[in-house]
Amino acid sequence: MKVKDIFKLREVKGSKLIAGKNGLERNVTCIDVIEVPDVTGWIKEGGFYITAGYAYRDSKEKLRQLISYLIKAKASGLGIKLGRYIDELPWDIIEMANNADFTIINLKTKAPYADIINSVLTKIVHDQSELLNNILRVHEKLTEAVLTDDSTSTFLEKLSHLIDIPVILLDEDLNIVFNKSDKIISNDLNGIVLNHITCPNKDRTGIYEDQYYQSKVYVVTPLSVKGDIRGYLVIISDKNMQLINTMTAEMTATVIAIQYLKQDLIEENNRRIEGNFLYDLLTGNFVDESLVIERAKRLGWDVYRKYFSMVIVTYQRNYNTGPEKKGCNVNERIFKEINEIIEPLGNIKTALFSDYIIAFCSGGLYEKASMISGRIEEIIKQKFSKIEFTIGIGRPVENLLIVSSSYREAMESIKIGERMWGRGKIYLFDDVGVYKILAKLTNDADSKKYVISKLGPLIEYDKKYKSQLIPTFKEFLDSQMNIKKTADKLYIHRNTLIYRIDKIKELLGTELNDDKEIFGYHMALKLMDLSII
C-alpha cells in the first residue's frame, strides 16, 4: 500500500494534502495512533500515524519535534485532524516536511480511529496477498521453464510478458544478450552495471535509481555459475513494485544460472568425448581403423580431408585470476576465446587438455595459418596479459588417421622455437629450418665434441673474461660477415667490432676466407643455440 492510496479510502474521503507531495509513493507497512507527547522508541519504519494533536495543542515546539522524529525514523507519513486542537500547521513545519518528502495529510473525517485503522490494514493485507500471488505466478513460470527445458531467450520472453516490464540480459563483457522492452531504457545502463561491479556487494542483487526517470529503479542481479560471474540480469522496475521484482530477478537469475550450468556440462561432456578421440589419434591408440572412421563420423569429422595441427601451450604459474574469478579455469576461457575466432572459418576441430590446446585445421587453411595464429596471439595478449604461451604449427597430412605426425611436428616446433627464441611466439615447422635437423643431434656426444673442436677457444675466453665473442661471431656470420650490418645489430661501434673479429681470428687461428670452414663454424654455433653445451 502507498501513502497516496489513503486518499482513496471511504473513511477519509475529502482529506487534503498539507505537505510532502513527493512522498506519496512511499510504502505503508502499518498504522497507529499518536496522542502522547513522547513517541521515542516505538515509531516503525514505513508506519503511517494519525493524531488529533491533543498532546501538542499548547506547544508548537513539541509538534516540531514530533515531525522531526517521524522523519528520522523513516515513517511513511502523518494524518492529523486539524481544527479540533490545532487549527493549522506552522509554515516552518510544512517546509521541513516538504524538504524531507514527508507526507502530512489533513484528515477531514469524523470516522473513529478504529475504522480508519481497520480500512488501512485491510488494504495492506490485500496488497500482501496480491504480492504473494504474483510471486507464485512467477514461480510457476520459472518451474515450467526448468521442466520444459526452454532456451534462455524463450524463457525470458515469457517472463517479460508476464511481468510487463523491461528485462535485459548482459554477458560478462556487458554486451546485451536479450532485451525485451517497448519502453525507453536509460542510456546509463552500462554505467549502472559497472557501478554494481565495483561495489563491495557485487555478488548480490543491487538496486539503483534511474537518474532520468525517478519513479524507476534498476534491479541488477549477477549470474553466478560455480563462483564465476557469467553475466547480469537487469530488470527496470517501478519503485512501487521493487520488492516483488527484486525477488523475481533473484529467482530468474537462479534459473538462468542452472541453464548455463547444464549447457556447460553438455559442452564439457562433448569436449571429453572429442578429447578422448583426439588422444587416441595422437597416440595411435587404436587397433581397428574402421572403428576410428565410425567414431570420426559420429563426431562430424571428415576422415579423408587434409589436416594440419596447431598447438597452443600455456604457462600459468604466475597467473592470478583474482577473487572475482574464483574457481574459474583460465585455459577454459582461453579455449572459448579461440573457438570464437576459428569456428567461423569452418572445418576446424579443437580440444582442450590440461596445459595446452590443440586445433586440427583443414589443410586448405594452411596458407592462412600465420594469420589465424596471429589473431589467437593477439587475443591472448589482450585478454590474458599475464599468461605466457607458445604456438606451434605442423605441416598438413593427407588424412585424419595420420594427423599425429602433424601434431608431433607442432610440438617439435614449440620445443625448438622456445630453445632458440623463447616463449610468446609462433613457430611453423616449415620455418625452423636447419634447427629441426640439428635438434636430433643435441644428445649426441660427437656433436658436443664437434662444437668444442670448432669453438672451444672462444668459449673458454668468454668464460674467463666475461666477454661476448660467441654472440659477436654468430651475428657476424648471420650477417654474411658484413661489418656495418653486424655493428648496427649489436649496437656497438665499428672499431669495437673489428677488434672482436680480430680476437676471434687470433683465437681460432683462421682468416675466415674458406667457405667450408665458415660452414663448420655456422653449424657449431647453431648446435650451441640448441643448448648442446
Closest by CA position to 303, among listed 411, 397, 369:
397
Helix (H/G/I), strand (E/B), else coil: 313: strand
Residues 420, 426, 432: CA angle, nearest 5 degrees: 50
The lowest-confidence range among 10-24, 214-228, 494-508 is: 214-228
**pLDDT level of residue 531 (50, 70, 90 thresholds):** low
Task: Indicate the range of 138-147, 180-189, 277-286, 341-350 predicted with least confidence.
Answer: 180-189
**CA geometry: angle at 87 spanning 83 and 92, to 5°?**
140
pLDDT at residue 181, as a whole number: 61
Q: What angle in degrees, to the nearest 10, is found between the helix axes of 515-529 and 469-478?
A: 120
294-303, 322-331, 343-352, 469-478: lowest mean pLDDT where?
322-331
- Of the spans 129-138, 149-158, 360-369, which averages the highest pLDDT? 360-369
**What's the CA gap between 206 and 165, in Å, rounded?**
18
Which of the residue ranges 85-99, 132-146, 242-256, 257-271 has the most confident prediction, judged by mean pLDDT? 85-99
Most confident among 36-45, 115-124, 276-285 (mean pLDDT): 115-124
Widest pairwise Cα distance in the chain: 123
Residue-averaged pLDDT of the chain: 83
DSSP states along 213-267: -TTEEEEEEEEEETTEEEEEEEEEEEGGGHHHHHHHHHHHHHHHHHHHHHHHHHH
pLDDT per residue as tens digits for the range 51-99: 998 888 888 899 999 999 999 999 999 999 998 889 889 999 999 999 9
Most confident of 154-158, 180-184, 396-400, 413-417: 396-400
Q: Quote the distance between the C-alpha of residue 226 and its chain's center.
A: 13
**H or E stretch covering 51:** strand 47-51
Please give the helix or strand (H or E) that residue 508 lies within, else none: helix 494-508
Please tell me the distance from the alpha carbon of residue 251 to that of residue 205, in angstroms, as a whole number: 11
> What is the rounded distance in angstroms from the CA atom of residue 136 to the CA atom of residue 159?
13
Q: Are 417 and 389 in contact (CB under 8 A)?
A: no
Cell numbers describing residue 506 = 687470433
CB 334 within 8 A of CB 384: yes
Q: Which one, of 22, 69, 19, 21, lies nearest residue 47 by Cα?
A: 69
Grid cell for residue 429: 615447422
Mean per-residue pLDDT, 283-297: 81
pLDDT tens digits, residue range 454-476? 889 999 999 999 999 999 998 99
**Helix, strand or coil for residue 354?**
coil
User: Cα(468)–Cα(416) distance, rounded to whole angstroms?
Assistant: 23
Question: What SS3 state is found at 168?
Answer: strand
Residue 53 to residue 46: CA distance in whole angstroms:
21
pLDDT cut 90: percent of the chain above it: 21
Residue 105 has what pLDDT?
93
User: 16-19 and 30-33: which strand pairing?
Assistant: unpaired
Beta strands in 285-368 (DSSP E): 307-315, 348-352, 356-362
